[in-house]
Amino acid sequence: MVKLKATTGSLEPKRQGNPERGKLSGYDPWVRRLLGARAGLTLDEIRDALAAEQGLHVHRASIGGWLHRLGLSHKKNAACQRNQAA
C-alpha cells in the first residue's frame, strides 16, 4: 500500500484484468467467419477449431465470455440437438 501511495498518490486500487487486449481479441473476424459458415458450433468445437487452425489453446469458458462480448450466440452442448421434435 505504501508503494501504491508513493507511485499514484492514492490508495485507489488499480484496475484488474486486461479487457482491451486479451488472448482472443485478435481473432474476432475469424470467429465471426467461422460461425457464419458453420452456425451452431459448440464451445468445444470452436475451441478445437482455434487449436487446429490458429494454434491457440484456451479454455472453453474463455470462448464463452468472448462470444458473449461479441454479441454472438452458440449452442450449449451437442446433447441439446437430440431433443428436437421430428
Q: What is the pLDDT of residues 8-60, one digit of tens each?
A: 888 988 777 766 677 888 899 999 999 989 888 899 999 999 999 999 999 99
- Does a structural domain hold residue 18? no
Residue 71 lies in a domain: yes
Distance, CA of 53 to CA of 40 (rounded, Å): 18
| CA 85 – CA 77 distance, rounded (Å) | 17
Q: Is residue 39 part of a domain?
A: yes
Between 20 and 83, where is the model more confident? 20
How far apart are alpha carbons 78 and 48 in whole angstroms? 14
Domain count, the chain: 1
In a domain, 59, yes or no: yes
* Count of C-beta atoms within a 10 Å radius of residue 67: 18
Q: How many of the other CB atoms lie within 10 Å of CB of 24?
A: 19
pLDDT at 8: 87
pLDDT of residue 46: 94
